[in-house]
Each structure stands twice: as C-alpha cells, then as structure tokens.
Structure 1
Amino acid sequence: MDFEWDEAKSEACFQARGFDFAYAARAFFDPDRVVQADTRHSYGEERFQVMGRIEQRLFVIVYTPRRDAIRIISARKANQREVRDYENRTRED
C-alpha cells in the first residue's frame, strides 16, 4: 500500500499533535480498522475516514484514494465518542 501527502500538512500535524502522516499511515494496517465515507462536506472528490489503532491508541485519518496511492489529508487522535463507536463496531464483527 502506497501513501502520499502534503509535506507541509504533515509537518503541521507533527507540530500540533506530536505525530506526522507517516506515523498515522500505520492505522491502515490495523486488522480491525473501520472505514467510512466522509460526507461532512462536498469536497469535489471522494473522501473517507479510517479509524485504526496504532500502539493501543485509536487514530482517525481522512484520505482520498488516488490511482497509485492513498493520499492522506488529515490525521488526529480519536475522541471518546469515536473510540466507543470503534469498539462497538469491532465487537459486532
């Protein structure tokens, strides 16, 4: 799986949140990851959210599929509601 991102946004994420997009990409390899369409706004492209664990912490990554890679748009640690939703979904499967 190949990833791409805007380096300036990755650096801004690191400065604000303590991790960059290269670290956040590891969420895609969580076997229990949850993927859903991101329909909050009309972006002009398909966007998705993946919730996946990295080292026992849940992350939310917004991305768009490209022809040759997954383009990461944003990344953050999940909030309590998202953790609860993730745990409920993974228990159901």
Structure 2
Amino acid sequence: MRITYDPAKREVTLAERGLDFADAAQVFAGPTFEAEDQRHDYGEKRVICFGLLSERLVVVGYTPRGADRHVFSMRKANDREQARIGPILGL
C-alpha cells in the first residue's frame, strides 16, 4: 500500500494542526476503526479512519485508489470521538 497526498494540503495541515500526511502509514499500521463517509456524493469513495499516531487518537480521511490510499485530511480526534472510538480500539 502506497500513501499519496496533495503536497500543498499536507503543508497546510502540518502548519495548522501539527500533523503530517507522511505519517499516515503509522496510523494504518496499527489498530483502526474505519467507516465510509456517505454524507455527500463526493464522486469517489471516501473513508474516515480512526487510529493512533504517537499515542494520540487521530482521524485520517482518505480515498482508496487501487492499492493506494490518497490522504486528504488528518486531525486530532475530538473529546466525543475519543470517548466513542477509544474503547473500540482498546484505549
């Protein structure tokens, strides 16, 4: 599995949130909880993935592209998400 992303969007996320799309592989390598984002018709499948990065619960949005995952979003999980998803992941 290869991780791809828009370099400009990566830089914005790194500057604003302190999270690097290049670290998404670490999230995918551990325990995760995933759900397809069906809130809108995006014209492609979008997946919301909850997982750990440096012992912190994060949310990674990605689009499957063949065997690759194209990351379009990464943020720290909020308190509500930590309370709901944390126990599912054994936190």
**Residues matched between the structures, number:** 90
Uncovered stretches (5+) of structure 2, i.e. residues with no partner:
none
Asked if 1:76 corresponds to 2:75, the answer is yes
Secondary structure in 2 matching 1:35: strand
Uncovered stretches (5+) of structure 1, i.e. residues with no partner:
none
Tell me the TM-score normalized by structure 2: 0.90
Determine what percentage of the aligned residue pairs are the same residue: 39
Tell me the TM-score normalized by structure 1: 0.88
1:24–1:59 Cα contact (<8 Å) kept: no
Asked if 1:33 corresponds to 2:61, the answer is no
Could you report, residue by residue, the CA deviation over 1:17-65 in whole angstroms, capped at 9, with x for unpaired residues?
A: 11220023321111x2101111122101000011001111011000010
Query: How many angstroms apart in 2 are the aligned matches of 1:78 and 1:25?
Result: 17
Q: Trace 1:1-93 onto structure 2 (pairs within 5 A).
A: 1-30=1-30, 32-91=31-90
Secondary structure in 2 matching 1:40: coil
Please identify which structure carries the higher strand content: 2
Secondary structure in 2 matching 1:22: helix
Structure 1 stretches (4+) deviating beyond 3 angstroms? none
Query: How many angstroms apart in 2 are the aligned matches of 1:34 and 1:19?
Result: 19
1:33–1:51 Cα contact (<8 Å) kept: yes
